[in-house]
Structure 1
Amino acid sequence: MTTLRGRVKASALFWPLPPLLCLAPAGLILALTLAGTWSPLSWRALDWVYLSGQVGAQARLPVVVAAGTAALVAARFTRASLVFAQPWQPRLGRDVPLRHALLLTGWCLGAYLVGLIPLTVAVATHGAGVVNPIPVLGALAGFVALTLLGYLCGLFARGLFGVPVAIATVFVLTALPMVADPWTATSLQLPFVPFVGMRESVPLGSYRLGFFLLAVTIAAWTTAWFLRVPRRFSVPHVSGVVLLASAALLPHLYTFPLLAYAQDGDEVCSEHDGIRYCVHEGHADELALIIDLAAPVFAAHGQADAVPNEVRDHGLATGDGEVLDGPAHGVLWMRVHPGWDPYRQVPGDAAAWLVPDLFVCGSEGVAAMDRNARARERRAAVITGLQAWLASQAFEGDTSEDGLFADADPDEVRAWIARDGDRLSACEVEPEELPWWP
């Protein structure tokens, strides 16, 4: 008796589907999600804004699995050869297909959310920024809508052909933001990863959420309609489809802004050698390392008027103009983002601030020292060599690369910069003019 009761309770979790059709896609989705979020668990500078965007970004492959499984269920359990699914048979009604959709969505979406738990715990440990609920809700609504779209593909195809159609369709729809920004309003994610100090724009997120809620409603309505007797189009149904198509077209006529700057935290600052360093409070653990890596680079250059007045975390910016005008105001903006490598980025950004832009040489950004190199490309090599040498000073000059500055003495380099700084800025220094060059 106990065994029978247990079987009845277990079947309620899957009925009217075989357990394998629920457990197999759920297990695959869980594995895909854990694999996709495993590497970020050890990243630096994780924050809640990043996690909010990852709810949609990590769903790209899981939702394809969910849609393909939904198409398989629809093709397998609503085909016309079944005794309860004949074209003239009204017994299928709406309860069974909606139960299919509810089961598949619950198992697949539940497995996806479980897969996000480790990343959520890792972000909670750092606690930078605040959650942006609109992108999260929009991504979850999109997951449900695209799963129902897969079910519709199986219904319309009335065969296994609907499975590859559903997989291909949903895969393309989730990849469209990488092609053009307007598709972002009707897809799961932004074409790039936001982080603390910014957020997805409210108009874009709200439109996506509304679009997917409308899509869920129309998909559920269409599912019930298609298996009803008699099967014929109705004016409300056609109007709903036209409304959804119009909603998908609107972002191409009016492009929503993708991001907005968000001041969701205070700044933490420290001063070293006359330079002020400031980061978002969520990145306070990075401040000391930024100073340790940037200060030797600025000191190696030796010219006080060439170093920035301030080094600021991009998470503290209030607008694009503030960042773009940074050099004019003596501010070096540094992107402290999830997964960043400060040992590479900080010395590189500091060195890039101190040397002229490579394009001043007129070499189209090409620097070369080979036999066929042109004069302007050889002069550009002086700039790139100096930049690499300055960056290496963050590690006490330890560099494995041989180049124009490989044997240079730091005092000799500083004296040369003081003497030929103007010619260097104009890209007029030949490699043979370097004092230490044989």
Structure 2
Amino acid sequence: MLTAWYVGAYAVGMLPLTVLTAQAGPPGGPDLLVIASGLVAVAAATALGYAVGTVTGSTVAVPLVAVGAYLLDAVAVYGANAAAPYVPQLSYEPLLGESEPLTLALFRTVFFLTVATACAGTAAAFLRWNARGRRAPTRHAASVAGCLMPAVIVGVIPAFAATPATYVADPAPQRSCLTQRGIEYCVHAGHAARLDQLVAAFDPVLDRYGTKPAAITKIWDQGLLPSHPMGGPTTNGTLIAPLKADGSVDTLSSGLTATLLGFHSCPASGPAEDTFAVYRDLETYLRTGRNTGAFANMNERQVKQWIHTHRTRLEGCTLTDKDLPST
């Protein structure tokens, strides 16, 4: 009854959000197996807590269960992929274009169902013995082991397999694209309405740069390449931009200015000390359009011309004091 109450409350609470997401969300639909694994996980957690309380027969079980739940949540939050088959909450939410693999969702459903059944059986056995006035610790321990053995057997299966991927990306997602200043902008089909927003977030910076950057040929929505690294050197000229759920475009994580200024070509210590201020002033100009420091006495056309003249040195992080703008 307790398990039915908790699972039912969880399902009723999540139903409106699920329906709304299915109707108004991006392409795709609810994954019934993933939904089932969530419901069974609630049942398993309820049955486990009830079994611990029944077996211990003490209020000591309350903090033990609370600490155990906290540890499970901590494992999920800190992203231990190896624990993905066992924790109710996965380490992070999937991006548009990602989904939980079938094998992982199926295993999680079976595992949580096994745990729920084993714990319910253990609690029922203890309640039955207590009702009959039987006190046989050895028999009790053997029964607990027997009830929990299926969960243990199922639980060790992933130990003999490769670490599961938490999510897998769609190998051929549909996309919507346009070209601006020789750079291809593309978003996942589910973000088609935000294509202009993506362009608007990056184009002003590229306009201030004034010349087509050699290192950037594409700027793509992260939903198209969710596993592609961000912030580092571009791969095949592709820059990845996260489109946030709050409606913003994360240009900082994309590494746009760092790529334009050639920071990825610099040594670990950064640009040479005598040119560092120029890089800082140039970063301010690209990001805000304000001419400061070494560029304070130059208009936008002159700054663009300076960038065009020194583009190769910028991209290679080889500026010297002889290249600095005259003040």
TM-score interval (norm. to shorter): 0.7 to 0.9
With normalisation by structure 1, the TM-score equals 0.63
Match of 2:304 in 1: 414
Aligned identity (percent) is 27
| Structure 1 stretch displaced more, 308-317 or 205-214 | 308-317
Q: Relative to structure 1, is the Cα distance of residues 391 and 275 closer, same or farther in structure 2, using a 3 angstrom cutoff?
A: same
- 2:285 is matched with which residue: 380, 385, 389? 389
- The equivalent position to 1:333 in structure 2, one of 231, 234, 240, is 240
Q: TM-score, normalised by structure 2?
A: 0.81
Q: For structure 1, which segment, 141-150 or 298-307, has the greater mean C-alpha deviation from structure 2 after superposition? A: 298-307
1:71-110 correspondence to structure 2 within 5 Å: 102=1, 104-110=2-8
Q: Which residue of structure 2 aligns with residue 425 of structure 1?
A: 315
- For 2:308 and 2:191, how far apart are their aligned partners in 1? 35
Contact 2:239 2:254 in 1 (8 A): no
Partner of 2:92: 192
Kindly indicate whether structure 1 or structure 2 has the higher relative contact order, using CA contacts under 8 Å at least 6 residues apart: 1
Q: Which residue of 1 aligns with 2:275?
A: 379
Q: Match for 1:354: what amino acid?
A: L
The superposition leaves residues 281-303 of structure 1 with CA deviations (integer Å, 9 ceiling, x where unpaired) of: 21012111111222222222222
Q: 2:258 aligns with which of 348, 352, 377?
A: 352
Aligned to 1:128: 26
Structure 2 gaps of 5+ residues are none
- SS of the aligned residue for 1:155 comes to helix
Superposed counterparts of 1:1-400, under 5 Å: 102=1, 104-116=2-14, 119-120=17-18, 123-124=21-22, 126-130=24-28, 131-177=30-76, 178=78, 180-229=80-129, 230=134, 232-233=139-140, 238-254=145-161, 255-262=163-170, 266-306=174-214, 308-317=216-225, 320=227, 327-339=234-246, 341-342=248-249, 344-345=250-251, 349-358=255-264, 360-363=266-269, 376-377=272-273, 379-392=275-288, 397=289
User: Contact conserved, 2:222 with 2:240, CA < 8 A, in 1?
Assistant: yes
Q: Contact 1:379–1:427 at 8 Å: present in 2 too?
A: no
C-alpha distance in structure 1 between counterparts of 2:264 and 2:297, whole Å: 23
| Letter of the structure 2 residue corresponding to residue 149 of structure 1 | L
Distance in 2 (CA, whole Å) between partners of 1:289 and 1:179 is 31
* Contact 2:11/2:39, CA 8 A, preserved across alignment: no
- Seen in structure 2, the aligned counterparts of structure 1 residues 224 and 325 have a Cα distance that, compared at 3 Å, is same
Change over 3 Å in CA distance of 1:197–1:406 after alignment to 2: farther
- How far is the alpha carbon of 1:221 from its aligned partner? 0.7
Q: What is the alpha-carbon distance in structure 2 between the residues aligned to residue 422 and residue 196 of structure 1?
A: 36
- In the alignment, is the contact (CA less than 8 A) between 1:382 and 1:430 conserved in 2? no
Tell me if the contact between 2:187 and 2:221 (Cα under 8 Å) persists in the aligned partners. Answer: yes
The structural deviation recorded for 1:326 is 9.1
The secondary structure found in structure 2 opposite 1:193 is: coil
Residue correspondences, number: 317
Quote the Cα distance in structure 2 between the aligned partners of 1:381 and 1:207: 55
Separation in 2 of the partners of 1:139 and 1:407? 61
* Aligned Cα root-mean-square deviation (Å): 3.4
Alpha-carbon offset, residue 111 of structure 1:
3.6
Cα-to-partner distance string for 1:337-388 (whole Å, 9 max, x where unaligned): 434621x52796433332213561331x5x7xxxxxxxx3553454344334
**Structure 2 counterpart of 1:205, one-letter code:** A
Deviations 1:130-185 (A, max 9, x none): 22333322122111101111112211221222211111112212322326221111
**One-letter code aligned to 1:152:** A
> Could you say which structure has the higher helix fraction?
1
Measure, in 2, the Cα distance between the counterparts of 1:225 and 1:428.
75
CA distance in structure 2 between the aligned counterparts of 1:348 and 1:323, rounded to whole angstroms: 6
Q: Which runs of 5+ in 1 are unaligned?
A: 1-101, 368-375
Partner AA of 1:332 in structure 2: L
Distance 1:326 1:166, change over 3 A: same
Task: Find the aligned partners of 1:210 and 1:128 in 2 and give their Cα distance.
Answer: 29
What CA distance in whole angstroms lies between the structure 2 residues aligned with 1:380 and 1:269? 37
Q: 1:206 to 1:407 in 2, by over 3 A?
A: farther
Q: For the residues of structure 1 that align with 2:258 and 2:15, how far apart are their CA atoms?
A: 39
Q: Which moved more, 1:251-260 or 1:326-335?
A: 326-335
